Structure 1
């Protein structure tokens, strides 16, 4: 199985609500067409989400951190509600958009550029989202995109690639690791990065460091399993 079912239910609900709205709409109306497309799009996303496949289909570019409009347009029924939810959740939430969990190590969400006390520039920004355009590209020297569905950890080789990128960038300056809200995907990568950089002995101590600084962070079962597998496959230089 791919991503966490609890997160997938959000997209199931959108698909069901849109499909029901289309059913209630007047035949051959624009409302029925639009709601039907939203329902169909989110149904496809649920399948890809649970299978943990197809992140590249949304078209987010590894260089620009954005998807060209012609690649994003077919997924608008998924992307627009997701963008709106992320914005509102950030607006009404009581958590900083990014937090310095260790000196020079910043953990946050999509709106990390608004974080209080953030550095003028980050040496590196690691982006774990597939569904959101990058906002910090002009605020960093190096950028790495590791596409992950919400609630899913990076694949093993991507987790090591992300950790190595952050450890290297941190030698030049502060680093930002972010996903949508700075809770799960980004925390998984941050734990690996702190170990790879020698800041923490193991991912569990790294997670505790993150949780003390940013209490909202969470690791689900798959994220913990991924970190265990990563630690076994890529042993830390810290004994």
Structure 2
């Protein structure tokens, strides 16, 4: 699983607290205060995103995908940093913003603009807690599963998303499942949907199918563990689907 978001944010917080101490010792007290604040926010997010705590509701993202103004102010050092990092990473990787993994089923990264949205006015499953739903997408069907980066939606949340997506599919709507980059959180939910649609025998087969079309996906032990639990307890039954459609 690697260091994960908790470790990365904690390291960032440590760097900021050291910068605060350095500037304060030089006599730049006012200049050092933003670094102190950022370090404290980083510590709070590091704790809230740890698997043993896992509180994505900390950022206050609403069910309609909006992030309230109080959260933007309080957690601005984190919220806006991840947007900058996301844009830089996408630009450097050159990866497509989304990939069609089965007819009408897309997985990808945060649609920061309408141009990064799949065609056909898709129903959107948003697996992030740190990115807002942009205003241009507010007319589209939308479901949010607020989840920290490198973490996984819970099995019950995966099941809810699968049933929601299948209802939208029954209305002939494309489905777009996204997280920050379309590598982890969204892939876990997409694996479950492919199983429920009868396209894949199990989530492991679904993962291989997705990786063939989106090579940079990277699920970790938390994603796989949630899928394993979902597989044992799920209510949604596979439907008959022609795999060669």
Q: Would you say same fold, with TM above 0.5?
A: yes
* 147-156 or 77-86, which deviates more: 77-86
- Count of aligned pairs between the two proteins: 234
Q: Quick one: structure 1 residues 4 and 146, their matched pair in 2 at CA, closer, same or farther if it must change by over 3 Å?
A: farther
Indicate if the aligned counterparts of 1:125 and 1:140 stay in contact, CA closer than 8 A. no
Who is 2:191 aligned against? 191
Q: Does residue 106 in structure 1 map to residue 106 in structure 2?
A: yes
Give unmatched runs, 5+ long, in structure 2.
Answer: 240-245
Who is 2:156 aligned against? 157
Q: Does residue 119 in structure 1 map to residue 115 in structure 2?
A: no
Shift of 1:235: 5.7
Q: Does residue 49 in structure 1 map to residue 46 in structure 2?
A: no
Q: Which has the higher strand share?
A: 1
The match for 1:13 among 11, 14, 21 is 11
What per-residue deviation string (whole Å, max 9, x for no partner) do you get for residues 39-58 of structure 1? 01001111111134221121
Who is 2:76 aligned against? 76
The Cα RMSD (Å) is: 2.1
Who is 2:142 aligned against? 143
Indicate if the aligned counterparts of 1:201 and 1:238 stay in contact, CA closer than 8 A. no
What per-residue deviation string (whole Å, max 9, x for no partner) do you get for residues 9-48 of structure 1? 2212211111111111144633211000110100111111
Indicate if the aligned counterparts of 2:5 and 2:46 stay in contact, CA closer than 8 A. no
The match for 1:23 among 13, 21, 24 is 21
Indicate if the aligned counterparts of 1:195 and 1:206 stay in contact, CA closer than 8 A. yes
Who is 1:133 aligned against? 132
Shift of 1:107: 0.4
Indicate if the aligned counterparts of 1:125 and 1:177 stay in contact, CA closer than 8 A. yes
TM-score of the two chains, using structure 2 as the length reference? 0.88
TM-score of the two chains, using structure 1 as the length reference? 0.90
Give unmatched runs, 5+ long, in structure 1.
Answer: none
Q: Aligned partners of 1:140, 1:108: CA distance in 2, in Å?
A: 20
* 216-225 or 68-77, which deviates more: 68-77
Q: Aligned partners of 1:236, 1:4: CA distance in 2, in Å?
A: 32
Indicate if the aligned counterparts of 1:203 and 1:227 stay in contact, CA closer than 8 A. yes
Q: Aligned partners of 1:25, 1:8: CA distance in 2, in Å?
A: 26
